[in-house]
Structure 1
Amino acid sequence: MLKHNLGYPRIGIQRELKKACEAYWSNKIDSNNLFEVGKKIRKENWKMQERANLDLIPCNDFSFYDHVLDMSLLLGVIPESYLSIPMNNIDLYFSMARGFQKNGWDIKAMEMTKWFNTNYHYIVPEFNKNQKFSIYSNKIFDEFEESKRLLNLIKKIKPVLIGPISYLFLGKEKNKYFHRMDLIENLVPVYIQIINKLKNKGVHWIQLDEPILVLDMSDKEKEAFQYAYKKISKSCLGINILLASYFDGISENISLFKDFFVKALHIDLIEDSNQLKKILNFFRESKMLLSLGIIDGRNIWKNNYSNSIKKIEKTIEVIGENRVMIAPNCSLLHVPIDIESEHSIHIDVKNRMSFAKQKIYELNDLENIIKGNKNILSNNFFLLEKTKKSSIIHNQKVKERAIQITDKDIKRENSFSIRQKKQKKKFCLPIFPTTTIGSFPQTKEIRSLRNKFRKKELSKEEYYKKIKFFIVDVIRKQEKIDLDVLVHGEFERTDMVEYFSYKLKGILSTENGWVQSYGSRCVKPPIIYGDVSRNGNITVDWISFAQSKTKKLMKGMVTGPVTILQWSFVRDDQPIYHTAYQIAWAMREEVLSLEKSGIKIIQIDEPAIREGLPLKKKDWKFYFNWSIKAFRLSSSGVKDETQIHTHMCYSEFNDIFEHIADLDADVITMETSRSKMELLQAFSIFSYPNEIGPGVYDIHSPRIPTVEEIFNLIKKASKKLPIKNIWVNPDCGLKTRKWEEVLESLKNMTKAAKMARIKLINKSFS
């Protein structure tokens, strides 16, 4: 039985990669310093996995920004606009991810979206009809040579690549009249070159990730898949190919493997344990090895060894121990690195937790149990049972309220058409009203301030006084820019979800539980360990203070229940929708307190609604039933005159607009700038009934958009949407940007909105 891993976190235990990248971007270090940091992280990761006695250790799972972007560079899939800039490979790479605005050049960043149903973001490949592929980057070969020098056995090293079908699936056609799957005949020969080049360097195993296998694949995708792997299996002899699927089951697509042979297939038994029976029936007639994904790579709870052993033993019974592999269900990219870095978590909770390092060692435990060590099994059982009755986890009143929801609880008093008239009369906002999504730059000074307060180096009074100074300052900046609806800047918040974890019972925040979201952006997902309830006001005092300092409308900012759920590590001992309803009740109380304090516009952010969507359409109905119910529970208690906003970003929404409409938010803001308002195509099919703010500039890039390009996006939106329903806003919060970028961009945004009020309104009524 082989133990292996699909991928390991690449940020470093103290976020060394984030700090190095940001230092490089600001010219504080050179590329040699940056590469040394990457090399050190890779060495630590490989050595740790070697000490954990893994039989196969991944390489090329490291990335300076994004593994999909790495794949684009490897295959030479680089838009011509970037190739026109004279620069080295690492600067070309970062320019594709972040845009380039320097020395007269002004090129936008490539589109970014969510990696399947996770909170990780990837850079979307761009394909032309006559797309050429070739080996452009040597990263995968260099990292293999590096790992070969460091590790004792070359047979242990397993380079990781995104498979050809998933890579094409993840991209977009930049021209009409062709389908990206049509490129498979051009792409496969380059994959064969890469695989054979690795074989010639001494590689024994290679992992090709094909998460597309868990989706509802089209006939065209299935044909491309079979074409690709028939070619690869015939042309890449003498190397063991592990084909990895994850995030759901592959039962519906297992027949694709009848006509070709790869050495091993990896399946995800965490997200779909029911698939094992059908997969084993197929494997009775196959000679492939079966890799069981039985350690949860997307959550932080200890493995239930008893459940895992049953799956392993069942598999061994059918195909024999020599054909069985065990691993996490997916890359450990999605979990923090080491639980031993946490020192303040209650022992009842910490004893149940397992981060990336611990998950690797859990594979050893499972192997030892199979070999006869039953003490490990009984100790695991005792530990998990012990926490089931803990008083810090369970609250019966909260449990009961979560399932006692009436129709009245999830409906506004009147329909949107009635509410809109009341709100327009009350607010008197101009056409194309301007606002931002919520946060403003989190400077080094602000982060230092919060850190000192946490360490008790600053009194509560001193801290509050300084935060209030920043709030007043950002209000004056917004007034000067002439934004119509203001925000307080969120300077008191570390993160839009983590902040609420400090204020809600049943949720905790870690000290060092960092996870990569995109590029250098790392977050610390809270841990929902128990029943969730609100313990007094969370945001009310800060928002009320901000409103008292301006005559303009001030938005209250609350994170929605589905996003708190999706961007946290969620307890696994009750149905997920029960937890969602508990959070929704808590946020409803906060929203009503904001309304009572005089806040007239309240934004309940739900950027994670789309990413939580199951990967198979057959599961959508159940998900939308509870997720929409949770949002409406949090938002429906307010009066007609109180305007509810929500925000969504960096996901594909075209196929779910009718469900987004069911949220019944008065205003929705969403990302559309990187995709050049591509989202608006949905309005040709579905007439969205409420107000909408399609983001007009990309905040994930440092480049400053011009007035003209923002105006053109507003103009484009006005052709698809009623002018009276359009808001003008950035596509996401501004916390990661610098002030000089933000101020200039927002000035251009308001100028563009004012230009639109003159040019587009006059034209529409002439």
Structure 2
Amino acid sequence: MKLVQTHIPGFPRIGAARELKFALERFWRGETSEAALQETASNLRARHWETQRQHGLDFVTVGDFALYDHVTNHIQLFGCEPARFGFNGSESPLARYFAMARGDGAHEGCGCAQNGAALEMTKWFDTNYHYLVPEFSESTSFELYSKRLLDEVSEARAAGHPVKAVLLGPLTFLWLGKERDAAPGFSRLDLLDRLLPHYSRLLMQLRAAGADWVQLDEPILGLDLPNAWRNAFEPAYWLLNQAGAQLIVATYFSTLEENVSLACRLPVAGLHVDAVRAASELASVADWLPAHKVLSIGVIDGRNIWRTDLDATLATLLPVLAKRSGPVWLSTSCSLLHVPYSLAAEPGLDDELRSWLACAEEKLAELALLKAALSADERVSGNVARGFAEARAALASRRASSRVHNAGVAARMAELASDASASRRGSPFAQRQHLQRERLQLPAFPTTTIGSFPQTSEIRLARAAFKRGELSAQDYRQAMRTEIAHAVRTQEELGLDVLVHGEAERNDMVEYFGEQLDGFAFTANGWVQSYGSRCVKPPIIYGDVQRPRAMTVGWTEYAQSLTAKPMKGMLTGPVTILQWSFVRDDQARGETAQQIAAAISDEVRDLENAGIAIIQIDEPALREGLPLRRSRWDAYLDWATKAFRISAAVAADATQIHTHMCYAEFNDILPAIAALDADVITIESSRSAMELLGGFASFRYPNEIGPGVYDIHSPRVPGSEEMVELLRKAAKVVPPAQLWVNPDCGLKTRAWPETAAALQNMVAAAQKLRTEVELS
């Protein structure tokens, strides 16, 4: 048998018990020193490398760790921090790093004197991880600051590990950025020649430091690239190859399609491909890739938690191994950043469901099994046989389980498919708008928030005590009602026009609903990093979905009883619930989305029957679900927008349906956003200084819009005049009569003092606009 080696593109960095999250937050509060934070980081890296070696990986991956975000790491690595984060000699690199991530005032006690908003944040390809967007202009310069990475290589080498360092490839790094304050005609690609010498110098340093291999991540090879970018790859990598390091280019998340031959002929020592997302291309890659190059095959799904079908995977691998005379590595499809750490932290999962799952550690074990199965070593044959038998039994159990399929859900889906009115509002928007304005009687530039208010320590303690059985259901309900009453009272005092109940009772905007829907399961510690210290615990959709009972009506009714102002019912949309969950892989995602949509529509009907006049169905994940290849967009957008319409179509014309989207580019899917037919859409726009609205204006978006006027991901409180300026910009491109005033996103992660101060300024900004702008 051919000698097969194993590695992974990356490992979860947050820690098995979210150690990094808590260390970061202590540091940001000024409770611990930078040295203490760095010690935690060092301990985590050492533990993660040891875990990789214990599972038989031939290399540990170094450079995938980040205190906040790996793209931000590269901004500092190559010395291209935006000018507003430039230093005057007194700020530490770490202070500037967190200034880029969190903005002015976000890092008290760190010695940073910066004055500026944080970098824009957006989704990492089509995942739920957020990265900070680099900013480039013709004046951007680069300078190598490699000590942090080289120190990590030294740490791993000192522990006796063979090292594979990982970097973002230079073309992907530039592609992920944006032009800011740039001259007309400037392209980020213009900076490539300026950047490459620094990459070359770093590669020489990594080789000298003892890195056996360097993985250069170029996932943009899976995109529809302009020719100028495609043509830049070969000369760029010809130059990088001169540095003498053994380079392996990694692609993931998508098929390569027209870039297969380009990726295979790059002058590097190896190529990693995603054989989960691009299984159909594996044979052609094996044919195209020269025999002397390493073929790294990502056969274990790095983005979902289902156990691998080892028999099917082995059947896929054997013909490739028989065909290739050159070296082969086995790997996960992408970094394991996107899955929880381990099932070891989940004693509460029942045995049947547990047998179907694999988190990061279990995926390392699957790699070890596959490697052993391809080995001629008889000493491991018994373990391999047992491992394959367990995987086989788990797959058979899942296919046959009565928990997965529900005849009632299947019947309802058939009804929806045959009823065209099930995905269409009763009347066109203009008619609905007239009825809604008569009913709501709102002022110009109505003010509202996106839904959540601060999740205080009191809320979390009450929820934890209730889950432990230390607080009765009645006492818990009263504690949450007290928090709701406080949120309503505060909003009325601030002068907001449309109120929310604050979502005190909700642990997470997806988990809260999934806990009340059939077909969902939950982990206790299945945390996945979303950005910085922010972690989410995605639900697991393992079976058919339906709603046994109302989920939000009681809380919303109570909140509405406290005020005469309109109270929004707050729901999470079907596409976002789907995207932010680990989704079953035994049926089409669109089918699962429509099951969730039918459940949400039941909730809309009940809220409306309870007298709620405004219902918000959040879909922040609509854009991130787009396939990376444009040729597949139409099919996705067709079922995704239909799912939203199914959830909202039950609402009467006089009931105003809102939706919310954040931290993504929307201009290229505006027809689909219009097809949602929401009466009001609220979007993130403050970090981009209202840039997103240009597309809405050019498209002549027909419905009402609430562009966010301040960034909620930073504790910074913007002044009223700053918000006024943003609203003035908005009013120039969107008819003022269609504009709402709101923050970028929910306020769950903020504290009450900064929240109240920012909202007070926001209300004042809206009031000023009412005096400035004459509405037709």
TM over 0.5: same fold?
yes
Q: Measure, in 1, the Cα distance between the counterparts of 2:328 and 2:146.
A: 34
TM score, norm. by length of structure 1: 0.97
- Compute the displacement of 1:100 (Å): 1.3
Give 2:174's aligned amino acid.
L
- Compute the displacement of 1:144 (Å): 0.5
**Among candidates 223, 226, 235, match of residue 227 of structure 1:** 235
Q: Which segment drifts farther, 688-697 or 98-107?
A: 98-107
Q: Measure, in 1, the Cα distance between the counterparts of 2:697 and 2:744.
A: 21
- Native 8 Å contact 1:672 1:678 kept in 2: yes
Matched, 1:394 2:394: no
- Native 8 Å contact 2:213 2:247 kept in 1: yes
Matched, 1:317 2:322: yes
Partner of 1:130: 139
- Deviation digits for residues 561-596 of structure 1 (CA, Å, limit 9, x no counterpart): 000000000011111111111111111101110000
Give 1:497's aligned amino acid.
V
Q: Measure, in 2, the Cα distance between the counterparts of 1:49 and 1:329.
A: 16
Q: Measure, in 2, the Cα distance between the counterparts of 1:631 and 1:16.
A: 37
Q: Which segment drifts farther, 339-348 or 189-198?
A: 339-348
**Among candidates 37, 45, 50, match of residue 34 of structure 1:** 37
**Among candidates 195, 207, 211, match of residue 215 of structure 2:** 207
Matched, 1:365 2:369: yes
- Compute the displacement of 1:474 (Å): 0.7
SS in 2 for 1:615: coil
Q: Which segment drifts farther, 372-381 or 347-356?
A: 372-381
Matched, 1:148 2:154: no
Matched, 1:524 2:537: yes
Give 2:300's aligned amino acid.
I
Partner of 1:738: 751
- Coordinate RMSD, CA, aligned: 1.4
- Native 8 Å contact 2:84 2:114 kept in 1: no
Q: Measure, in 2, the Cα distance between the counterparts of 1:14 and 1:281.
A: 43
- Compute the displacement of 1:310 (Å): 1.8
- Compute the displacement of 1:257 (Å): 4.1
TM score, norm. by length of structure 2: 0.96
SS in 1 for 2:645: helix
Q: Measure, in 2, the Cα distance between the counterparts of 1:686 and 1:565.
A: 28
**Among candidates 45, 49, 52, match of residue 48 of structure 2:** 45
Partner of 1:276: 282
Q: Measure, in 2, the Cα distance between the counterparts of 1:531 and 1:464.
A: 30
Structure 1 residue ranges, 4+ long, deviating more than 6 angstroms after superposition: none
Give 1:255's aligned amino acid.
S
Matched, 1:666 2:679: yes
- Deviation digits for residues 484-514 of structure 1 (CA, Å, limit 9, x no counterpart): 0000000000000011121011101210000
Partner of 2:549: 536
Q: Measure, in 2, the Cα distance between the counterparts of 1:715 and 1:311.
A: 58
Superposed, which structure 2 residues align to 1:686-765 within 5 Å?
686-761=699-774
Gaps of 5+ in 2: none
- Compute the displacement of 1:278 (Å): 2.1
- Deviation digits for residues 737-763 of structure 1 (CA, Å, limit 9, x no counterpart): 1111111100000000000000122xx
SS in 1 for 2:745: coil
Partner of 2:148: 139
Partner of 1:179: 187
- Compute the displacement of 1:259 (Å): 5.4
**Among candidates 345, 362, 366, match of residue 341 of structure 1:** 345
**Among candidates 468, 477, 492, match of residue 505 of structure 2:** 492
Q: Measure, in 2, the Cα distance between the counterparts of 1:138 and 1:91.
A: 16
Q: Which segment drifts farther, 14-23 or 100-109?
A: 100-109
- Compute the displacement of 1:314 (Å): 1.7
- Deviation digits for residues 328-356 of structure 1 (CA, Å, limit 9, x no counterpart): 00000000001111122222211010000
- Compute the displacement of 1:607 (Å): 0.4
Q: Measure, in 2, the Cα distance between the counterparts of 1:268 and 1:165.
A: 19
Give 1:511's aligned amino acid.
A
- Native 8 Å contact 2:146 2:202 kept in 1: no
Give 2:655's aligned amino acid.
T
- Compute the displacement of 1:226 (Å): 2.1
- Compute the displacement of 1:258 (Å): 6.3
CA gap 1:104/1:301 in 2 versus in 1, 3 angstroms: closer
- Compute the displacement of 1:137 (Å): 4.5
CA gap 1:541/1:258 in 2 versus in 1, 3 angstroms: closer
- Compute the displacement of 1:400 (Å): 3.1
- Native 8 Å contact 2:157 2:210 kept in 1: no
Partner of 1:167: 173
- Native 8 Å contact 1:261 1:288 kept in 2: no
CA gap 1:258/1:346 in 2 versus in 1, 3 angstroms: closer
Partner of 1:198: 206
Partner of 2:60: 57
Q: Which segment drifts farther, 457-466 or 398-407?
A: 398-407
Give 2:495's aligned amino acid.
D
Superposed, which structure 2 residues align to 1:499-518 within 5 Å?
499-518=512-531
Q: Measure, in 2, the Cα distance between the counterparts of 1:361 and 1:279.
A: 26
Partner of 2:644: 631
- Native 8 Å contact 1:76 1:137 kept in 2: no
SS in 1 for 2:634: helix
SS in 1 for 2:678: coil
Superposed, which structure 2 residues align to 1:240-259 within 5 Å?
240-257=246-263
SS in 2 for 1:719: helix
- Deviation digits for residues 376-416 of structure 1 (CA, Å, limit 9, x no counterpart): 33432222112212122221221232243221100000000
SS in 1 for 2:617: strand
Partner of 2:391: 380
Partner of 2:124: 115
- Deviation digits for residues 156-185 of structure 1 (CA, Å, limit 9, x no counterpart): 211111000000000011113200011100
Give 1:194's aligned amino acid.
L
Identity over aligned pairs, percent: 46
CA gap 1:349/1:104 in 2 versus in 1, 3 angstroms: closer
- Compute the displacement of 1:209 (Å): 0.5
Q: Measure, in 2, the Cα distance between the counterparts of 1:676 and 1:255.
A: 40
Q: Measure, in 2, the Cα distance between the counterparts of 1:716 and 1:647.
A: 20
- Deviation digits for residues 300-327 of structure 1 (CA, Å, limit 9, x no counterpart): 010111221122112112113x521110
Partner of 1:7: 10
**Among candidates 261, 283, 290, match of residue 295 of structure 2:** 290
Q: Measure, in 1, the Cα distance between the counterparts of 2:398 and 2:274.
A: 27
Partner of 2:95: 91
**Among candidates 260, 268, 289, match of residue 262 of structure 1:** 268
Q: Measure, in 1, the Cα distance between the counterparts of 2:371 and 2:211.
A: 25
Partner of 2:618: 605
Give 2:609's aligned amino acid.
K
Q: Measure, in 2, the Cα distance between the counterparts of 1:38 and 1:96.
A: 19
Give 1:220's aligned amino acid.
A
Q: Measure, in 2, the Cα distance between the counterparts of 1:51 and 1:7.
A: 16
- Native 8 Å contact 2:13 2:20 kept in 1: yes
SS in 2 for 1:222: helix
- Compute the displacement of 1:260 (Å): 3.9
Give 1:390's aligned amino acid.
S
- Compute the displacement of 1:104 (Å): 7.8
- Native 8 Å contact 1:336 1:515 kept in 2: yes
SS in 1 for 2:193: helix
- Native 8 Å contact 1:251 1:278 kept in 2: no
Q: Measure, in 2, the Cα distance between the counterparts of 1:130 and 1:421.
A: 51
- Compute the displacement of 1:112 (Å): 0.6
